[in-house]
Structure 1
Amino acid sequence: MKSLRMIVSVLLIPCLGLHASASESDKELRIVFIAYQNPEQLADDVEPVVAYLEKELGVSIKHYVATNYGAVVEALKNGTADMGFMGPLQYVMAHSFAGARPILGEVYKGKPTYTSRIFVRKDSGIKKLADLKGKSIAFVDPISSSGYLYPMELFKAEGLVKKDATDFFKRMYFAGGDEQAIRAVYNNFVDAAAIGQFAYSLLRPEERDEVIYVGESKPLPSHCVVVRKDLSESRTSALQNALLKIQDGPDKGLLKNLYGVDGYVKVTHETFSEVEAIARDYDFIK
């Protein structure tokens, strides 16, 4: 896993200069959102959510969209964000590096968990994971849970990948997002894509019949809302309550702006214990 550790280190380096004071301001909150597809669209989508939180919390909010997965981890590590929306692997890294705490987990399609799936074109002739030997695959990001970590665990469990994945795949790519990965399959740029199960919906309805999945990981915790280690309990509780209030009140429509989730449930670090153990196996954390 040495080469993977080097990749992760490189991904985190660009943000190392963004140091800022982690001291809490009563009148300001800093939020980082992670982009899973179109960063510009997400930046527009979250504006009503930010306005809602400013009203509920009575603070000014500064926010930005991280365009790579490493940036959201570094934002909490370096004190440039008080709160972030991120995936399970990014959370356990932020916890390991900076003591970050999870406060809510997403509920999507009625569940607080999801899976990773291996998608191929229906006309590819690929029927099972073993058929991908010598083929190309698009992952999402080296520190993506459903777009790298859990797919690799799936291939290992099937006995297809031993030590080095390049012994099985002809080529491996990191597409940078779920939509880019699923479209790489649809457009015949790669033979397969390892992505979250719901990335299928990023294709247009008329395109979806052209792809199928030939493998699925075990469930993993949904993406989560995370706060920095020393954010006060009063501010943390206020954030929890404000976000939980959305799903049961007149502002429920805002959920479509928050990655289209159904709502949230409270989570703890133990919710991510399996992700943490796998991340340690892959040298993401010590």
Structure 2
Amino acid sequence: MATKLNRRAVLAMAGASTVLLAAPLAAQDDTLRLAFIPQENPDKLLGDIEAITGWLSEQIGVPVEGFVTIDHAAAVEALRNGDADISFMGALPFVLAEAEIDAIPLLSEVYRGDPSYTGRVFVRRDAGIQSLADLRGRDIAFADPISESGYLYPLAEFERAGLIDRPEAADAFFGRVFFAGGYQQAMQAMAEGLVAAAGASQYADLLLTPEQQSQVTWIAESDAIPSHVVIARPGLDVGLRTRFVDAMMMLNKPEHRDKLRFLYGPDGYVRADPAAYEGVRDLARRYGLLK
């Protein structure tokens, strides 16, 4: 699908931060480097990263640094180049990274007791949009071109409804299509009326203000998607990888759960099951993203 405006332009339209990338510090052999994707305002995320990396450093016993990438693809590239050792990302970027660089799944997020979630198509309540068909000729913002809940799964609902027959046909169905760079940016563009709809995670409305939340609704919901996953580059030292996982699992304990708010706010983590992502692999193959 072609992007009619670039990502930076949409961020500016939505009033989001234009600080998209905090470059990783110079690599050090004894430093664990974490890449974060900008699902929410990058400025807030930078503050969260500083808090959680400090705690992880204490638990693991080595310096831990974090940085925000522009998008999922940049996170995968950072893993490939060794600029990052571990990354937090969606299920689709993980299966692509698995195929491209043999990335290893470590942990899956849990929300409301479930290691899965859905993608939704959100609209403003006052827009007069009742169904997906009502979006013909209207503008839509997706989170990221390699996001499962922020692109592929919501887009698949238009196929299921018989409105498009392949992803490339979306350009002819919609007015304009934007990739906003994250859930919050896509939702903000929709909430402010800059686009008619947003494709994002079922929880993405929680990134809006309470007033905005009361003004939006959703009109379509996807099949279940495995939750976001924490992955490692294949060459990362096994002992360090194990210590990182053990530290992250400590966040499930009551005395440490308050720190989950610094990691996109899940309810906790479970050890990742590679088999859980087979449905995502199938969808990626159907859309030509995997062979």
TM-score, with normalisation over the residues of structure 2? 0.87
**Alignment partner of 2:210: what SS?**
coil
Mapping 1:28-47, distance limit 5 Å: 28-47=31-50
After TM superposition, the structure 1 stretch with the greater mean CA deviation from structure 2, 144-153 or 275-284, is 275-284
Give the AA of the match of 2:74: A
Q: How big is the shift at 1:249?
A: 4.7
Give the AA of the match of 2:182: G
Q: 1:7-52 deviations in whole A, cap 9, x for unaligned? A: 9xxxxxxx9xx9x99xx94x22111111112112111112121111
Asked if 1:80 corresponds to 2:55, the answer is no
Which of 22, 25, 48 is the equivalent residue of 2:51? 48
Asked if 1:207 corresponds to 2:218, the answer is no
Could you tell me whether the CA contact under 8 Å between 2:49 and 2:67 is conserved in 1?
no
Could you tell me whether the CA contact under 8 Å between 1:33 and 1:64 is conserved in 2?
yes
Q: How big is the shift at 1:285?
A: 2.6
> C-alpha separation between the residues in 2 aligned to 1:89 and 1:97?
12
**Alignment partner of 2:239: what SS?**
helix
Could you tell me whether the CA contact under 8 Å between 2:38 and 2:181 is conserved in 1?
no
Q: 1:91-138 deviations in whole A, cap 9, x for unaligned? A: 111111100011100012222111111111111111111221222111
Q: How big is the shift at 1:258?
A: 0.8
Identity %: 41
Which of 226, 234, 240 is the equivalent residue of 1:221? 226
> C-alpha separation between the residues in 2 aligned to 1:207 and 1:213?
13
Could you tell me whether the CA contact under 8 Å between 1:31 and 1:83 is conserved in 2?
yes
Q: 1:54-74 deviations in whole A, cap 9, x for unaligned? A: 111111123211122211010
**Alignment partner of 2:195: what SS?**
coil
Could you tell me whether the CA contact under 8 Å between 2:49 and 2:66 is conserved in 1?
no
Could you tell me whether the CA contact under 8 Å between 1:103 and 1:266 is conserved in 2?
yes
5+ residue gaps in structure 1? Answer: 8-14
Asked if 1:230 corresponds to 2:235, the answer is yes
Q: What is aligned with 1:168?
A: 173
Q: 1:165-211 deviations in whole A, cap 9, x for unaligned? A: 12211221111221121121221111111111111111111222211
Q: What is aligned with 2:18?
A: none
> C-alpha separation between the residues in 1 aligned to 2:171 and 2:52?
42
Could you tell me whether the CA contact under 8 Å between 1:135 and 1:171 is conserved in 2?
yes
> C-alpha separation between the residues in 2 aligned to 1:246 and 1:126?
41
> C-alpha separation between the residues in 2 aligned to 1:32 and 1:166?
32
Give the AA of the match of 2:210: P
Could you tell me whether the CA contact under 8 Å between 2:50 and 2:66 is conserved in 1?
no
For these two proteins, the number of residue pairs brought into alignment is 270
5+ residue gaps in structure 2? Answer: 7-20
Asked if 1:254 corresponds to 2:259, the answer is yes
Q: What is aligned with 2:106?
A: 103
TM-score, with normalisation over the residues of structure 1? 0.88
Asked if 1:189 corresponds to 2:163, the answer is no
**Alignment partner of 1:265: what SS?**
strand
Q: What is aligned with 2:14?
A: none
* Aligned Cα root-mean-square deviation (Å): 2.1
Could you tell me whether the CA contact under 8 Å between 1:66 and 1:72 is conserved in 2?
yes
**Alignment partner of 1:150: what SS?**
helix
Could you tell me whether the CA contact under 8 Å between 2:171 and 2:177 is conserved in 1?
yes
Asked if 1:69 corresponds to 2:72, the answer is yes
> C-alpha separation between the residues in 1 aligned to 2:65 and 2:40?
21
Segments ≥4 residues shifted beyond 3 Å: none
> C-alpha separation between the residues in 2 aligned to 1:76 and 1:95?
11
> C-alpha separation between the residues in 2 aligned to 1:68 and 1:56?
28
